[in-house]
Amino acid sequence: MTALPMTDERVFALLPGVSRTFAISIAALRGTLADDIATAYLLCRLLDTIEDDAALSADERKEVLLTLAGCIDRPGAASAVEACLAGLRDRINATPAEHELLHEAGQLFERIDQMGEMRSGIIRRWAAEMARGMAEFVSDIPGQRIQTMADLGRYCHFVAGTVGGMLTGLFVLCGPGISERRKRLLEQYMEPFGRGLQMVNIIKDCGKDWQVGRSFLPREMAGDERGFLGVNRSMMASLISGAAEDLDDAVRYIRALPRRMWRARLFCIYPLVFARKTLQLLGRDIFSPGQAGAKISRRQVKWSMLFSAPAALSNLWLRLVCRRRD
């Protein structure tokens, strides 16, 4: 029996459980654009939940991700999605909200089928690329999935650059008359925007990840018997500097969105401001006690949102709130 498509209400009910930060950002949007981006995000979270799950072997995760990539490519694959996940859902070590998403994956795919061909086509193109890229990097051996700095850049493309491509496609399609010049700028800066946000998350969590036997740092950065404290510090400084430069390009991305699309700009501004503040909080030496895994407080989130709102309409204010604070 074919599942009914996931409703708008259900999509937005699931979001806070799978990502509190994204739920904050999506609240800036309205209408079809909000619905499409929220739906696309749940699909990405479904893939991410499978990629990260240590309860499944690398071979199992790779097979599931490649099967889902094939299902994403073609309409009418909800039943195939259900069959793919049927024997795995209860084995996956996930949060309650992620388990709900896994159990409603068929309905999510039905929802995508109900979209217009152009809108669903944008989501399918980039999500399928994400799934195949994730499959390329799964590993049972901690620290083995990413060998070199080049691997890290490729990994960030698959898990974050694709998100930038997806958002850009939807912005251009749903936005009120984005010019060709602005479209070229968005396409130029969409990759570093996604990569910068992803790198901040990797840097922020690298110490915590190391403690549980997981690492998204290149193996060539691996240190000595001191574990995380033995990581190559010069290369870590380079990662931090690269992330800051990518966030500079994220500002240029937002400036390329016309101010009449102020809701879309605000949607992008929030995660950028949070990432800037996180880098500032980490400082230049994340090896100091208490630095790795540091996160901004809810109070800082609230004030950042209030202070950032005018940037949706003012490029001068955008440069002010999103500037580097080294």
Amino acid identity for residue 161 in this structure: G
Asked whether the predicted pLDDT for residue 224 surpasses 60, the reply is no
Pinpoint the alpha helices (H) of the chain.
8-18, 20-26, 31-52, 58-73, 78-85, 96-103, 105-114, 117-137, 149-156, 162-174, 180-211, 233-256, 262-282, 298-308, 315-321
Question: Is residue 171 within 8 Å of residue 145, measured between CB atoms?
Answer: no
- If one looks up domain 7-140 in CATH, what number appears? 1.10.600.10
Question: Is residue 35 within 8 Å of residue 8, measured between CB atoms?
Answer: yes
Two domains, one topology: 7-140 and 141-326: yes
Residue 286 pLDDT:
61
pLDDT band at 288, cuts 50/70/90? low
The string over 204-222, giving b where at least 16 C-beta atoms fall within 10 Å of a residue's C-beta and e elsewhere, is bbbbebbeeeebbbbeebe
* Averaged pLDDT, 136-159: 84
Architecture of the CATH domain 141-326:
Orthogonal Bundle (1.10)
Sign of the torsion angle spanned by Cα atoms 52, 55, 58, 60: negative
Q: For the whole model, what pTM was predicted?
A: 0.90
Distance CA 129, CA 97 (A): 25
* 107-141 residue pLDDT tens: 999 999 999 899 999 999 999 999 999 999 987 66
Residue-range domain boundaries for the chain: 7-140, 141-326
Which tokens sit at 27? 């609240």
